[in-house]
Homo-oligomer: A and B are copies of this chain.
């Protein structure tokens, strides 16, 4: 295989940016910026997110059985970079961001324009990231987008000319 062609072809896939959160109810809370996300079904509404197996959040999602995807807005570049780093839970904030618990227990960032809470239905344990499939069981719209919703989300390409996660 031509690995340069593989890298470029896979980097053609466009990505939004999300803060993936989880709370196991035992004091372990995680929040991390992710981009490998897609819807996978309408009925029931399913999404898939690929998570690095050695990520702090991976075990928390697995044990809690729930997660939230917090959509980032175009003005949330700082949040995206903050949650590339390990999460600090302090003063009731996640790395400085106020949040509250959703109905599933998953943390919802107050600043996120929208979020979905999901119940894990399947984990595909293949590769260095596993595919976590979740059913959307709750949804929140804090700041309804004007115009197409997919033009309101922060995208990977918005982070800089040389920022990629894929390929």
Contact = CB atoms under 8 A, between A and B. Distances in A.
B42 A141 contact: no
Contact of A5 (B15, B141, B156): B141
Given A129-B40, A150-B14, A8 B124 contact: no
A151 to B, nearest CB: 6
A122 to B, nearest CB: 5
A73 to B, nearest CB: 9
Contact of A9 (B3, B8, B115): B115
A38 interface: yes
A1 B139 contact: yes
Contacts of A140: 2, 5, 9
A156 to B, nearest CB: 7
A136 interface: yes
Interface in A88-146: 113-116, 121-122, 124, 126-131, 133, 136-141, 144-145
Contacts of A54: none
Given A12-B16, A40-B129, A131-B133, 20 more contacts: A6-B116, A8-B144, A10-B47, A11-B149, A12-B114, A12-B150, A13-B39, A13-B153, A36-B38, A36-B40, A38-B38, A39-B50, A39-B166, A40-B48, A40-B50, A40-B127, A41-B127, A43-B127, A43-B128, A46-B126
